[in-house]
Amino acid sequence: MTEREDAQPVAVLGLGALGSVVAGALLKAGHPTTVWNRSPGRAADLVGHGAIPAATLAEAATASPVVVLAVADADAVRAVLEPVADALAGRVVVNLTSGRPEQARDLAAWTARRGGTYLDGAAMSGTRAVGRPEALFLYSGSRETFDSAGPALRSLGRARYLGADPGTASLHDTALLGVNLGLLTGFYHAVALLGGAGVPAPDVAEVVTDYLPFAQGLLAEHARQAELRTAPPDEGTLEVLAAAVDHLVATSAGLGIGTDVPDGIRALLERGLRAGHGRDGLPSLVGVIAGTEVTR
Ligand SMILES: NC(=O)c1ccc[n+]([C@@H]2O[C@H](COP(=O)([O-])OP(=O)(O)OC[C@H]3O[C@@H](n4cnc5c(N)ncnc54)[C@H](OP(=O)(O)O)[C@@H]3O)[C@@H](O)[C@H]2O)c1
């Protein structure tokens, strides 16, 4: 453990895959860290690295002003917090457990009634990167609460505050899951397609990595166009792109591989064409998905 001026005592409740790396990162960053888990035996490694084991849930909940939760789901959060509800006054509860926006809002209101403050968090980068700058954590709830837990939260990775509504972090979590899976399933299709032609998967990864900055570079401009509800065909019209995806479907089918991924994209483009966006660009699909219209 390294000494630091802004060391912030933290208790971590739940030492599963996420909770243990969170506790490990806090310890490594020099924050006195108390740990507790429902089933015994999961704290041993962390205690070996300087964590303070709490003998009981009550001891854990009262050990520090910041209480971090990483348990299975919202029901488990309630199961952990309810027995120690009276101990939450004046404490910050940071809940990294995944859940739905309304569950986050309910937990925030429940915590406030006990005199505590609540911050909802979403761990966006799995467990391996936790404690490093490439790990992204999203938070929502009161800004003051976010700031007060700042030193501890920044030890986990990049801490991005999204707003006062406690439900915002989990809404972003679920939206980003869609982005990640859209990207990865597109990549897996490319691995299967090119693999059928003898290209090794690592080579596919290399060329895709080279290509991604182009796609990433489109995000801000397409977002601007979506806001303005315009969709110039800078990257091709929907008509042209639909024909290109037809080739992707046909080539995939010809090689005997699944067409699930391009079929989904083709179906969306078809809806765009039917809505009259054949001469518009890709950002017109935002309106097609959202059920709003673009102007031309
Ligand atoms: N792992 C990841 O990469 C990752 C990334 C982002 C978000 N998350 C989210 O983080 C949360 C934890 O995930 P995980 O991967 O750490 O899960 P995990 O390894 O399965 O651990 C689950 C933890 O929840 C505890 N738990 C379950 N039910 C409980 C209850 N009723 N009362 C008290 N404790 C209870 C378990 O305690 P026992 O040991 O006693 O069973 C264990 O500590 C989930 O909501 C997950 O979606 C995980």
Beta-carbon contacts of residue 124 (< 8 Å; ≥ 6 apart): 135, 136, 137, 138, 173, 176
CA of 183 to the centre of ligand 1 (A): 26
Q: Which atom of ligand 1 is nearest to the CA of 124?
A: 6
CATH superfamily of this structure's domain 10-164 = NAD(P)-binding Rossmann-like Domain (3.40.50.720)
CA distance 98 to 120: 9
| Predicted model pTM | 0.92
Sign of CA dihedral 22, 45, 69, 58: negative
CA distance 165 to 118: 11
Pocket probe for ligand 1: among 20, 38, 42, 173, the residue whose CB has the most ligand atoms within 8 Å is 38
pLDDT of residue 248: 98
* 2: pLDDT strictly greater than 90: no
Torsion of CA 45, 50, 53, 58, to 10 degrees: -130
For residue 276, the 8-state DSSP code is: T
Per residue in 109-167, pLDDT (tens digit) is 999 999 999 999 999 999 999 999 999 999 999 999 999 999 999 999 999 999 999 99
Q: 3-class SS at 92? A: strand
CA of 12 to the centre of ligand 1 (A): 12
Q: Whose C-alpha lies nearest to ligand 1, atom 39?
A: 39
Residue limits of CATH 3.40.50.720 in the chain: 10-164
CA of 39 to the centre of ligand 1 (A): 12
* 96: pLDDT strictly greater than 70: yes
pLDDT of residue 215: 94
Percent of the chain clearing pLDDT 70 (strictly above): 98
pLDDT class of 296 with cuts at 50, 70, 90? low
C-alpha count within 13 angstroms, C-beta hemisphere, residue 18: 21
> For all residues of the chain together, what is the average pLDDT?
95
**Does ligand 1 come within 6 angstroms of the Cβ of 77?**
no
Q: Which atom of ligand 1 is nearest to the CA of 14?
A: 43
Residue limits of CATH 1.10.1040.10 in the chain: 200-290
Fold of 200-290: N-(1-d-carboxylethyl)-l-norvaline Dehydrogenase; domain 2 (1.10.1040)
